Amino acid sequence: MNINDALQKGIALCCGSETAKLDAQLLLCHVLNVNRTFLYTWPEQTISASQLTDYQALLQQRAQGKPIAHLLGYRDFWSFRLQVNDSTLIPRPETELLVEACLALPLPNNAVVLELGTGTGAVALALSTEQPNWQLDAVDLQPQAVQLAMHNRNTLGLNQVNIFQSDWFSAVGERTYHLIVSNPPYIDPDDPHLTQGDLRFEPRSALVAKQQGLAAIQLIIQQAKQYLKARGWLVFEHGFTQAEQVRKIFLANGYSNITTQQDYAKLDRITYAQYIPQINRFTADNAVS
């Protein structure tokens, strides 16, 4: 069988996917260890029997809905390639906006930064590539996700990123941060999207939160005040219907400069705010007199 025939066969098998042609191309490139240009340039080239067997096995899994990133074992994010597995979320393109939002904040050159729920390490590692002088801590609850993030950190040589297991702030200690960033689980447990697409193959620990998806965000907003330096920033990615609720929670907890940003599809996607502790007027007045 040649490359062109193999692609046609793959497209037919992946016909349930909205991206059948791309899926077939990516899987064939993976098996042949070539890039997509090669497929266009050499459509008549014959593929070996063992390559065909491997390709067919991947196509069958894709036809059952398994995410392309899980079949390839990686996903490109920001300027690098990350290993992925089923212990955490496959990094999404819109999460690059979370990185951009953090980089745009007025922060010192040697900022101390915490990422909560790092998963593959995508956000913390992207921040570290752009700001090598930032001191980054990144935590996740799931031990396998922590291992994965450490693997990605080591592969990228970003050894300055400190990755450890923690249930949100539980293992963070007494350190305080200029910036805390999180893309936490934010999908309501009853959301029908959980039974569709890639979400079916990603762990609920990475996706689901109680209180219409807001439980983790609420807890982090409340507890972060203990871990933010004065005038420090807390930045979230959240569901596109959740911005108003997130702003309300920030406001109820005394944060300032609350701002929502939209993604490229003009959907509310990121909300951040600043923690400016109020001077205790009674203490301040007493101190003067």
Ligand X SMILES: C[S@@+](CC[C@H](N)C(=O)[O-])C[C@H]1O[C@@H](n2cnc3c(N)ncnc32)[C@H](O)[C@@H]1O
Binding site for ligand X (CB under 6 A): 88-89, 91, 95, 116-120, 122-123, 139-142, 145, 167-168, 183-185, 205-206
Q: Where are the beta strands (DSSP E) in 111-227?
A: 112-116, 135-140, 162-165, 177-182
Find, among 168, 70, 74, the residue nearest to 122 by Cα: 74
Q: Least distance (Å) from ligand X to the CB of residue 159?
A: 19
Between CA 238 and CA 236 the distance in angstroms is 6
Between CA 33 and CA 36 the distance in angstroms is 10
Q: Which residues have CB under 8 Å from 266's CB, separation 6+?
A: none
Between 163 and 249, name the residue whose CB sits nearer to ligand X. Answer: 163
Between 142 and 259, name the residue whose CB sits nearer to ligand X. Answer: 142
Note whether 191 and 164 are within 8 A (CB): no
Nearest 10 degrees: Cα torsion 150, 77, 177, 241: -120
Q: Least distance (Å) from ligand X to the CB of residue 221?
A: 14
Between 167 and 285, name the residue whose CB sits nearer to ligand X. Answer: 167
**Distance between terminal CA atoms of the chain?**
90
Rg, the chain, Cα only: 22
Q: Least distance (Å) from ligand X to the CB of residue 120?
A: 6
Q: Least distance (Å) from ligand X to the CB of residue 183?
A: 4
Q: Least distance (Å) from ligand X to the CB of residue 25?
A: 24
Between CA 134 and CA 131 the distance in angstroms is 6
Between 3 and 99, name the residue whose CB sits nearer to ligand X. Answer: 99
Q: Least distance (Å) from ligand X to the CB of residue 64?
A: 23
Between 67 and 184, name the residue whose CB sits nearer to ligand X. Answer: 184
Between 14 and 214, name the residue whose CB sits nearer to ligand X. Answer: 214
